[in-house]
Structure 1
Amino acid sequence: MKNTTMQPSEVEVDRRAYRRRQSEKSVATSVASTVVLVVLIVIGLHVSPGWPRVRESFFSGKYFIQSFPSILKGLWINIQVLIVAVIGVAILGTLIAVIRTSKSPVLFPLRALVTLYTTVMRGIPMIVVLYLIGFGIPGLAIFGRISPVVLGTIAVVMSYSAYIGEVLRAGFQDVNPSQRASARSLGLTNGQTIRIVVIPQALRSVAPALMNDFISMQKDVGLISTLGVVDAVRAAQIASMKTFNYTPYVVASLLFILLSVPFIFLNDWYSAKLRAREQSGGTV
């Protein structure tokens, strides 16, 4: 039986070899420039007169090891708040987007209310929302004692659901109206059309923006420390007040970075995948 495998031509072989050489050259150049930059930064720090004091104040190995366990324990609270907030923001943000894109006259009061909500919440700094929810709700003395962790989670959900709702709304509006019409002609209800046809297509187009917002939310959950929650940031503050050293804040920063790196890589990978599909003429 004859071998029908297509063999590349000499021109194609030369092209592949050229692209491989260019790729290797780019990698070598990137590595060299990175090494040069790191060397320049190291030299610049060492020739700075105040570097020894800064190193001891922010990068002390002794205080790093000493404060790490308590800060890591506090980070677990941040992770719990983040998990609950992601679920709450996804649900509330989707409801906001659905209401804002609805054309039903019956939902006009809700559309007006949701429009006002997104406008106000996107204009208020996150720290102010935390103060209003964290100290305002207990001040009403209606619900009894509420954990500051719960109040902080509510504030994060309320703040970020406005941003997520607007991102999703843009994605919903980006779906061609013919998709809705086709779904309705097949007998799908309005709810089924949104759930089966609109939302999946909208998520693909706005996924990078959504991931960026969730990465920002992952950092902002550290602000719940303003309500007295002993999370990673608050634990770092306590350790710093005891030792008069800022290394615990660096420890907290490193832990937050490690927490966000997987999401950042996922966002970059998915954005590159979408870009490659668009450039190749594929359907996004």
Structure 2
Amino acid sequence: MTVEDVRPDTYRPSERRIERERFRRARTRRAVTIGAVSSLATAGLLIGLVVSSPGWQRTKETFFNAHDARASLPKILDGLWLNLQLMVVCGAVVLVLGLLLAITRTLRGPVFFPLRALATAYVDFFRGLPLIICLLGVVFGVPALRLQGVTTDPVVLGGTALVLTYSAYVAEVFRAGIDTVHPSQRAAARSLGLSSSQTMRHVVLPQAVRRVVPPLLNDLVSLQKDTGLVSIAGAVDAVYAAQIYAGKTFNYTSYVVAGLIFVALTIPMTRFTDWITARMNRRQSQGGTV
């Protein structure tokens, strides 16, 4: 008798299961078809509405001129490099400063009350202060003080304003993650002989950071877009390069080009954030590590 003789029969799904799967595939195809047709119809209706408007020809020449788009693109891409540098540097500083603020706000004991009060006041103030006002205050207020050794570089000052504002938002995200860790985790770590700092480092923070990855990525997406506001300080980024071109030609196609570039950079990060969120939700629903 050979191994093939005793091997169990290959599994064959039942007719009911085959029919159910066939129905699901047909329903999926129908849903995709209906969604595609409705999307195309909606897009066609909107395009037709815009194109048939009385001022479309003038709008097309002013905002969607192919020649001006090609002419302005090189300078906008040169300025975009500054936006990317600001996003990377400011993002790293924001994460570190936000985490320190969150840890400071969670310190226990009366001796740490001044630190907790200062951290809370910082977060409350910069979360309530509009970013544009913070930028104007830092960019124009700091040079007016004429402090010795303090830079007046608009890029550095603009980046500082971004860090001040976004670190307050990120601090609240980290603090929310820390608060979601059950107190029994701390108690178990302390019972094993870990100090308060060791418990925070090895037990609380790893769990808290994993839980707040999606909102942190959303804040980084917003930071990427808001780097364009440093143009207020006179820094030649993508937005300011578009403004310079528009000022020379009285054509606003360069603004559209800059906007589309920012959209092209933001969409991949947004989709990545959605994927991370869905992945973590699946792992949580399956009882895995969050």
Please classify the TM superposition score into its range, dividing by the shorter chain length: over 0.9
Quick one: percent identity of the two aligned structures?
Answer: 47
**CA–CA separation in structure 2 for the residues paired with 1:37 and 1:210:** 34
Q: Corresponding residue for 2:244?
A: 238
Q: Which of 54, 58, 61 is the matching residue for 1:56? A: 61
1:228-266 Cα offsets, whole Å, 9 max, x none, are: 100011101000000101101011101111111221011
Instruction: Give the C-alpha shift of residue 25 in structure 1.
Output: 1.4
Q: Deviations over 1:113-161 (max 9, x none)?
A: 0111111101111011111111222222222443111111111011000
Q: State the 1:164 CA deviation.
A: 0.5
Alignment correspondent of 2:119: 114
Q: What residue ranges of structure 2 are gaps of 5+ in the alignment?
A: none
Matched, 1:43 2:56: no
Which residue of the partner structure matches residue 11 of structure 1?
A: 16
Instruction: Count residues in correspondence.
Output: 284
Task: Say yes or no: does 1:85 pair with 2:97.
Answer: no
Cα distance in 2, alignment partners of residues 166 and 198 from structure 1: 16
Q: Give the root-mean-square deviation of aligned CA atoms.
A: 1.6
For residue 192 of structure 1, report the CA deviation from its aligned partner: 2.4
1:203 aligns with 2:222: no
Partners in 2 of 1:40 and 1:31 — Cα distance? 14
Question: For the residues of structure 1 that align with 2:9 and 2:139, how far apart are their CA atoms?
Answer: 71
> How far apart, in 2, do the equivalents of 1:197 and 1:50 lie?
62
How many angstroms apart in 2 are the aligned matches of 1:160 and 1:150?
15
TM-score, structure 2 normalization: 0.93
1:29 aligns with: 34
Alignment of 1:205-224 (within 5 A): 205-224=211-230
Q: Does residue 1:193 correspond to 2:199, yes or no?
A: yes
- TM-score, normalised with respect to structure 1: 0.95
Q: 1:136-151 alignment to 2 at 5 Å?
A: 136-142=141-147, 143-151=149-157
CA distance in 1, matches of 2:37, 2:281: 28
